[in-house]
Amino acid sequence: MAVTAGLSVDIRRKRFAGDGRTPPHTAIENLQFDVPVGQFCCLLGPSGCGKTTLLNIAAGLDHDVDGSVGIPSDDTGSRPAVSYMFQTPRLLPWMSVRDNVDIVLDPGARAEGHGVRLLERMELGSYLDAYPTRLSGGQRRRVALARAFAIRPALLLLDEPFVSLDQPVGNRLREILLDQWQAQPTTVLFVTHDLDEAIFLGDRILFLSQPPSRVVQDVAVDLARPRTPGSPAIHAFRTGLLDRHGGLLAGLAGATTDPGHSTP
């Protein structure tokens, strides 16, 4: 499957109508950017700035929007696979690890053992018949990651998937994600509020504003791969970035040290 066009986001306005308890608010306004095929693009912004909303629109879960999101299309003309790794693993607790991945595959891919191969690559080979309730938080996210890659997506959306994991487990998962992405290249939109994570993972970082969200800074991460989490190179890149765009990113830098940061 040759993917010929990347992701193009052009959202004029995304508004949530209030419902008595919550006042109406505009989550996104004039948000435009393109992601070339195969690029690993990180979206960085304060909590509540509409990042999840954007992913939901791209995933086709939310159609109530003024604007359009063009997802990578292939030469067959059919809508290519979009896959989504949510903030929580969202596994089906009544299905084994194997079935949790197989359930999203078409019968052909299931029969040739594509799901099991991916799970083995994620070091879950000995947990194929376990139920998710028996797994650790890191293991559950590896299952979710295997599921996300299993459908051979043309676009992979990730919504702060490694939040609330401790540092070593999170770093290991980030490495697994990069390994798999390099083995199976695809366009990636990775949402985070952690600047170090974005620098470690991304080819490019888009900084979003407080809501209504728009792009305030577009930064290419020109560090050579493989990168090392917490390495001097990443640290230097971060310092340079904050020096150059300190004013613009001030609110965000605070958010990276305080994940509980919220919008008024």
Partner 1 sequence: MAVGTVDVAATAWGRLRRIIGSPAGLRIFSFVLLLSVWSLATTADPSGQVLPAPWVVLDTLWYHLNEEGLLFHLGVTLWRVAAAFFGAMVIGVALGILMGARRRADIVLDGWHILFLNMPALVLIILCYVWFGLTEVAAIVAVALNKIPNVVVTVREGTRAVDRELLDVARVFRVDRRTTFLRFFLPQLYPYVMAAARGGIALIWKIVLVVELLGRSNGVGFKLHEFFQLFDIAAVLAYTLAFVVIMMVIEYGVMAPLERRFTRWR
Residues engaged in binding partner 1 (CB under 8 A): 59-61, 81-84, 86, 88, 90, 92-95, 103-104, 131, 133, 147, 151
**DSSP-derived pairing of the beta strands 204-208 and 215-220:** antiparallel
Nearer to partner 1, 15 or 152 (CB): 152
Q: Which is nearer to partner 1, 114 or 227 (CB)?
A: 114
The residue (of 12 and 134) whose beta carbon lies closer to partner 1 is 134
Output the DSSP codes for 130-185: S-GGGS-HHHHHHHHHHHHHHT--SEEEEESTTTTS-HHHHHHHHHHHHHHHHHS-
Smaller CB separation from partner 1, 95 or 128: 95
* CA-angle at 142, arms to 140 and 145, nearest 5°: 115
Shortest Cβ distance from residue 208 to partner 1 (Å)?
A: 22
Q: Residue 104 has which token pair?
A: 């999203």
* Closest distance of CB 253 from partner 1, Å: 31
Residue 48's region, left for phi above 0, alpha for psi from -120 to 50, else beta, is left
**Nearer CB in complex with partner 1: 83/187:** 83
> For residue 41, what are the β-bridge partners?
189, 204
Say if residues 168 and 94 touch (Cβ distance below 8 Å): no
Report the alpha-carbon distance of residue 21 to residue 85 in Å, rounded. 29
Rounded distance between C-alpha atoms, residue 70 and residue 133, angstroms: 37
What's the closest the beta carbon of residue 88 comes to partner 1, in angstroms?
8
CB of 227 to partner 1, least distance (A): 29
Instruction: Compare residues 20 and 232 and give the one whose CB is closer to partner 1.
Output: 20
Q: How far is the CB of 228 from partner 1 (least distance, A)?
A: 33
Min CB(136)–partner 1 separation in Å: 17
